[in-house]
Chains A and B, each alone.
Chain A
Amino acid sequence: MEFLTTLGLEVHTELSTKTKIFCGCTTEFGGDPNTHVCEVCTGMPGTLPVLNEQVVEYAIRVGLATNCEITQYNKFDRKNYFYPDLPKAYQVSQLYAPICQNGHIDIEVGGVTKSIRIKEIHMEEDAGKLIHDPWDDCTLVDYNRCGVPLLEIVSEPDFCNGEEVIAYLTKLKSILQYTDVSDCKMEQGSLRADVNLSVRPVGTDELGTRTEMKNINSFKAIARAIEGERKRQIELIEEGKKVVQETRRWDDNKGSSFAMRSKENAQDYRYFPEPDLVPIEISDEWIERVRGELPELPDAKKKRYIADYGLPEYDVDIITGSKFLVKIFEEALEACGEAKEVSNWIMGEVLRLATDTSTDVEDINFTFANLGKLILLVKNNVVNRGTAKEVFEKMFKENVEPEKYIKDNGLEMVNDDGAVREVVLAVLQANPKSVAEFKEGNDKVTRFLMGQCMKQLKGKADPATVNTVIDEELAKL
C-alpha cells in the first residue's frame, strides 16, 4: 500500500527583546540558575504582569512578513496546567484572539513553488528549565527562561514531506532573522518546532490520526524525526493496528520516538481570558508604520539580486538565505560595486573559512566593506588573486585592513616589467637543464620555470606578465 503523509508545524521562536514579556528581567541566555528572575516571572503570590510593547511590535512585524492579517483587537488567555517549569501553573498565551491570522509562506522544493498557509501566530511566555540532579535523583528548577517572550507560528497541515518542512523552516528562519525579531539559535532553544504528522493510504481523503512530536531542535533531527514517525505509523497501519493520538518525544540519538507519559491532565487546559492583562488594540497607523519599516525580505531580495546582478540562482539562494551573508554581500558590494566578485568570494573563501574555523555565519566578524576593498585591489592589479586569498584569511581571522596589511608586508604585485625580466633572466640562467629541454621541444618546462619565477617574486607578480616575459626570453635564446 502507498501512503501519503500530512504534516503541520508549530514553531516556537524566542524573541530577542531585551526584557521578558511581562517583567523587566533580562532575556540574556545562560547565567547561573535563577539569576535572571524576579517576583513577577517566578509567579510569587500577588504579582501581576505588564506587557512589553516590543513583543507586540515584533509580532506585527513577523505577521506582516508572513502575509498575515493582523488582529486589531487581540487578547491574552490563560492556559492552565501543572508542571514545575510553569510557576503560576498557567501559561499566558493567546487562544481566542491571536495577534496574527491567515498568512502564508512560499517555499520552493525541486524548482516548484508551494504556498504553506499559516493559521495563526500568537504571543506567549516561555517556561523554565528542569535540570535532573543525578546525586539526589531529583529535579532542580531554574526559572531564568521563564517569561522570555515567544511567538508560536502555527501552520496549516500543508506539508507532504520532510523536504518541504525543512524548506519552510529555512525560509521562516531567514524571515525571523531579516526582521530582527529572533536570533533563531536552535542550540539555545530560541527556535524549536513541534511536528504534527499523519499518514493515510493513497486514494483516501480523510486524514489519518495525527501524533505530535515536541521540541525538536535541529533541522537534521526534524528530518529524521519525520521519516521515523512516518515509518512507524505506516508499520502500525500495515500491521492492522491503530495510530494513537498522542504527544511523542523524538530521541535523535536512538533514532526513534516514544510516547510521553501522560501528565494526567487529559489536555484540558481550561483556557479563559487573562483578567490581569487588558486587550491590545492595534491601529491602522501602527500596522502601516511597521509595514513601512519592514526590511526587504528574502523573496524580494532574491529576485532583485538575480535581476540586477545576474547572479546564479544557486548562489543567491545561499546568500539571501542568511541575513548575515546578505549583510556581508551588501556591505562589500557597496565598497566595490562588483556584485559577481563579491558573490564568488562569499561562496568561496568566506564559507570555506567559516567551515574550516567552525564559525557560525552570524558570528563572522570582520569589516565587510574591506572585502570590497580587497576585490578592488585585485581588480587594480595591486595584489594577485593568490596573495589576496592569503590576505583575506588574515582579514577573516584578525580583521586586518587589506590595503595597510599588503603595504606593511610588502605584498604588492611587482608590476615593474624590468624587475620581472631581471628575475626571469636569473631563473633561466640558474636552470640550464630546463632551458635545454625547452629547446628540445618540451613546452612543459615553462610551468616549472614559471613556478621558480613566482617563488623568487614571492608570488607578488601578475602571473600573466611573468608568463609573457618567460616566453619572450625563451624565444630570444
Chain B
Amino acid sequence: MISVDIHSKHFGDSQVLGRVRFELGQGETLAVLGPSGVGKSTMLRIVAGIDRAFEGHVERPGRMAIVFQEPTLLPWRSVLQNLTLVHRGLSDAEASEALGRVGIADKAGLFPGQLSLGQQRRLSLARAFAGKPEFLVMDEPFVSLDVEMADGMMRLTEALIAEVRPAVLLVTHAREEAERLAGRILHLEGSPAVLHSEGKDHLRCVKP
C-alpha cells in the first residue's frame, strides 16, 4: 500500500503544494491531471522519494520504478547494461527477455544513442518493469510522441502493467491518457496546488 500525505512544499518563500493526500493499492492505477507548471512533477518527485524537503509523510515500498518524460538512459552503457546495472540481481538472460518483451532484444549490444526515440522509450519501459516493481511512477511518459507512437507505447504499457500489476501513479496533462490507463483520476489545481476529485465538489483531501 502506498500512502501519500503531503502537508506542504515550499520553494523558498513560495508554497507550491498544499495538502495532497491519497492512497494507492497494488494493481491500482491513479492518474493525476493538471496544467503545466502546477506542481505535478514536484508532487511526483516527493512521492518517488527524489525530493525529501517537504512537510508531510509518504509510505512507499522498496521496489520502485520510474519512467520519466525523456527516456533518461545511461548513454555510455549498452542497452543490456542499462537494465543489468540498474537492477543488479537481473541476469543477462532475464535482461534479454525484458528487452524482448518491448521488442528490442536484437539491440542489446548497441548504445542507447544508436536507437530511435521510440526504441529508447521502449528501453525505458523495459527498465521500469524488469525489476518487477511494486510501485511505478510515470511522469508524462508519452509527451512529445506522435499519435501512432503514443498509442503503441500505451498498448505496451497496458500489457506490462497487467503482467506485473504494480501500483501506478501516472502524472499527465492529457485526459485521454489518464482515462485509458487509470482506474482513478485526480486533478492537481490551484496555487498552492491541491488535489481535487473528478466530481463537481472539489475536495482538498481525497481518499480512494
A and B held together in a complex: no
Residues of A at the B interface (CB closer than 8 Å) are: none
Residues of B at the A interface (CB closer than 8 Å) are: none
